[in-house]
Amino acid sequence: MCLLALVLWCTLYCCHGRQVDIEAAKVVQQLHKLASFSDDPFPAVTRVLYTEADMQARQYVKSLMELEDLKVREDAMGNIFGTWQGSDPSLGAVLTGSHCDAIPLAGMYDGTVGVIGAIEALAALKRAGFKPKRNLAVMMFTSEEPTRFKLSCLGSRAMSGALTADVLDAKPDDNGTSFLQAANAVGYGAESHAAVLEASRTPKGSVDYFVELHIEQGPLLEQEGLDIGVVTAIAAPAALEVKFQGDGGHAGAQLMPLRNDAGLAGAELALAVEAHTLATGAMDTVGTTGIFELSPNAINSVPKEARLAIDVRDINGPRRDKVVQAILDSAQSLATKRQVKFEAQMINQDPPTRCADSIQQAIVAAARGLGLTTKHMVSRAYHDSLFMARIAPTGMIFIPCKGGFSHRPDEFASEKDISNGVGVLALTMAQLSEGAWPDSRDEL
């Protein structure tokens, strides 16, 4: 038991001999507690925006912030902030955070490590006697996942001005409830979507840096035996919906030469998505037909309608958009070939972003000071950092996750890796804050 206690309490040192104690066992315990707020039993986590489970998680996160004497506030979107005031609050803050909502049947580490771990990072700096110059702040973003309103990163989009009222107006949930109605029902919101967005916009100059801690959601760090991923760029998706419509008919009575099968047009387009993506020759370009629905969806009926939802991602915006155009061109030619009607709609087409060199350098310095190995890498998954980069210089810290698995119940990050990530985050924020350590006249 004593040996276990030693393992669970990890003491880390920065390159200048600064000591930061990360209470890793506490972080893991809090992650397990957070996972209990779920619509599905453990180890699965289902936590959809503004549901009872989400509201319980929000209350828990706020209670952890308050325990560390952070000043808690919430905006109209439901973004939650916990701030440690620095010696010069006139400067922009060093902000960190992630999300706690979870798609159905997800795991307990996606996003949450960057919230619970961030609270511990600030707590560790406090215990070490660090005095920040800039404010240090932790936040929990509202609805990074697109589960309820079919649009990801609602909180960070609102903060950065990348979300408009007409977009929210056009995106009710599956029950017809608007974002405004859902937000107002749980104590957030305002009199209109426009008012919500105006109240949630980040004031210019209020944030100087943003850093997000996250599990990799891929296998590279684990496969290469490396500790920390230093993210250089964040890929962004272009999401589109394509519909084909034919005449349908009886599967036995309608002769093959007379068919205009919408399902076959859809099947060929799904293959075209793969072909156009691979044709770039770039590992960073990925394309997915994530939804393929047929109607009337009966074994004895020729498909009359096909609906495909397609996701194309890349860190290179123009290259991604060429793939999207090639897919649209293929859809048009397949509609002609199969004699079906065709329509397409862009759902979103956000630009990718590059992480700030200054933050990458700070992350590397912190990791080296802790004796940790690093890898510069791109993030192929979507994160709130994509939109925070529109507000301030932004960076991301990745830690390994078992098998690279994410968005499933067996998602896992070890206590050691969590501790490493929290330690690197703490020292990165300390450096960006330009504060002072005890018994030192020099700023960090």
pLDDT tens figures, 247-296: 999 999 999 999 999 999 999 999 999 999 999 999 999 999 999 999 99
CA–CA gap between residue 97 and residue 29 (Å, rounded): 19
Instruction: Provide Rg for the chain, Cα atoms.
Output: 24
In angstroms, the first-to-last Cα distance of the chain is 37
pLDDT of residue 397: 99
3-state helix, strand, coil in the chain (%, to 5): 35, 25, 40
Residues 400-410: tens digit of each pLDDT:
999 999 999 99
Bridge partners of 19?
A: 13
Average pLDDT score over residue span 364-376: 97
- Per-residue pLDDT for 179 more than 80? yes
Residue 441 clears pLDDT 60, i.e. is over it: no
Q: How many CA within 13 A on the CB side of residue 164? A: 4
Outline where 355-414 has alpha helix (H): 357-369, 385-388
Say what the pLDDT of residue 168 is. Answer: 97
For 113, which DSSP code?
A: H
**pLDDT score recorded for residue 382:** 87
Residue 6 has a pLDDT of: 31
Q: Is pLDDT above 60 for 148?
A: yes
Query: Sign (positive/negative) of CA torsion 370, 376, 379, 383?
Result: positive
Q: Which amino acid is at 25?
A: A
Please determine, for residue 12, whether its predicted confidence score (pLDDT) is greater than 60: no
Q: What is the pLDDT of residue 17?
A: 52
pLDDT of residue 440: 58
- Predicted confidence (pLDDT) at residue 1 exceeds the cutoff of 80: no
Least confident range of 10-24, 25-39, 379-393: 10-24
**Other beta carbons less than 10 A from residue 441's beta carbon:** 6
52-73 mean pLDDT: 98
Statement: residue 9 has pLDDT above 60: no
Tens digit of each residue's pLDDT (9 = 90 or more) over 109-128: 999 999 999 999 999 999 99
> Which residues, at least 6 apart from 81, have a Cβ–Cβ distance to it below 8 Å?
72, 73, 74, 75, 137, 138, 139
Please, what is the average pLDDT of the chain?
Answer: 94
Which candidate, 258, 260, 240, places its Cα nearest to that of 313? 240
Helix axis angle, 113-127 to 24-35, nearest 10°:
150
Q: Are 145 and 152 in contact (CB under 8 A)?
A: yes
Site of tokens 């580490």: 109
Mean pLDDT of 139-157: 97
Q: In the predicted model, is pLDDT for residue 209 greater than 50?
A: yes
Predicted pLDDT of residue 439: 75
Q: How confident is the model at residue 443 (pLDDT cuts 50, 70, 90)?
A: very low
User: How far apart are the C-alpha atoms of 119 and 67, rounded to whole Å?
Assistant: 10
